[in-house]
Amino acid sequence: MSELFGTLSDGTRVHRWTLERAGVRVRILTYGGIVQSVEVPDRDGRTANVVLGFADLDGYLAHPEPFLGAVIGRYANRIAGARFPLDGMVYALEPNDGPNSLHGGERGFDKRVWDAEPVAHGVRLTRVSPHGEEGFPGRLEVAVTYTLDPSGALRIGYEAVTDAPTLVNLTNHSYFSLGGGNAGGHELRLAASRFTPVDADLIPTGALDDVTGSRFDFRAARKVGAGYDHNLVLDKGVTDTPVEVGELRDPASGRVLTVATTEPGIQLYTADHLGDPFAPGDGVALETQHFPDSPNHPDFPGTELRPGVTYRSETVYGFGVRG
């Protein structure tokens, strides 16, 4: 089902699509490809929204920085110095995080209105990112498809093609709050034996450090706590199909979120600096991705996309209850 959600100052209409299956209801906006809400039951069958969002379009326009629920691109996370080398050239991007580029620039995919069409059990969003948008080379045709599978899991599939060599690293920036309150007490498990340490600007040093004995070790489930904005290196690496890599659980409500992905990393962000109207720790973001600043680290999994090749990535967020 599609309905008008609001209108931008230039007259562009924003629509909201509602998907329902197996007791799960998800609402998707054409503005930013935003996951506005995900309603799932708790252990007692009581349904509530488990992602952070706003009730109207004005809320998203007034508070763009948290990137609530949005599609992030062309490049999720940070690129150091807003510059990267590709095929012997150095490309300069628009810095929007001090000297660095963050989440695709000042007006990335999260602030664009996408075209939408229905598909079986979901909606397919598309847009064309022109050559030079935010400094990225190549004309990029992008599609993001949201579907609910028979169990009610939210499946997000990404595809892109380009007419010139470029970078692509797409993700979704939903913040999960499985109990409806502060998420600091949620328990997290991730199959990640390494992480990418960062400098003061949250740029990876290039090392892949062992999590053993550190606060980054979530191989056994434990409380998330606060103070995370880091990429964890998934043990499975890049895969052709989604592989389950972990879960987030709220002991109070019994709700469980499982994560499966084709991506090699997850950015764990505990939302310590969300700002008004949210409090620190109100949500936990689990952004499936290639690593931050990969173009400037040849040893990291590559993020280049070339003509004739289709970029594909898929992440599945499953919902259940336990305990």
Convert the pLDDT of each residue in 184-243 to its tens digit.
899 999 999 999 999 999 999 999 999 999 999 999 999 999 999 999 999 999 999 999
pLDDT at 168 over 90: yes
Q: pLDDT tens digits, residue range 115-148?
A: 999 999 999 999 999 999 999 999 999 999 999 9
CB 77, CB 103: distance < 8 Å:
yes
Query: Does the annotation flag 77 for ligand binding?
Result: yes
> Domains along the chain?
2-321 (2.70.98.10)
Query: Does the annotation flag 58 for ligand binding?
Result: no
Select which of 133, 263, 287, 314 is catalytic.
Answer: 287
287 counts as catalytic: yes
173 counts as catalytic: yes
Between CA 298 and CA 231 the distance in angstroms is 17
Could you give the C-alpha distances from 244 to 156, 212, 237, 316, in angstroms and in order? 14, 21, 12, 8
Query: Does the annotation flag 174 for ligand binding?
Result: yes
Chain-wide mean pLDDT for the chain?
97
Select which of 103, 133, 173, 186 is catalytic.
Answer: 173
pLDDT attached to residue 243: 98
Quick check: pTM over 0.95?
A: yes
Please, which residues have CB within 8 angstroms of residue 241's CB and are 6 or more apart in sequence?
262, 314
Q: Compute the half-sphere exposure of residue 11: CA atoms within 13 Å on the CB side of its CA.
A: 0
Q: How is residue 246 written in tokens?
A: 């972990």
Query: Does the annotation flag 173 for ligand binding?
Result: yes
Query: Does the annotation flag 96 for ligand binding?
Result: no
What is the band of 176 on the pLDDT scale with cuts at 50, 70, 90?
very high
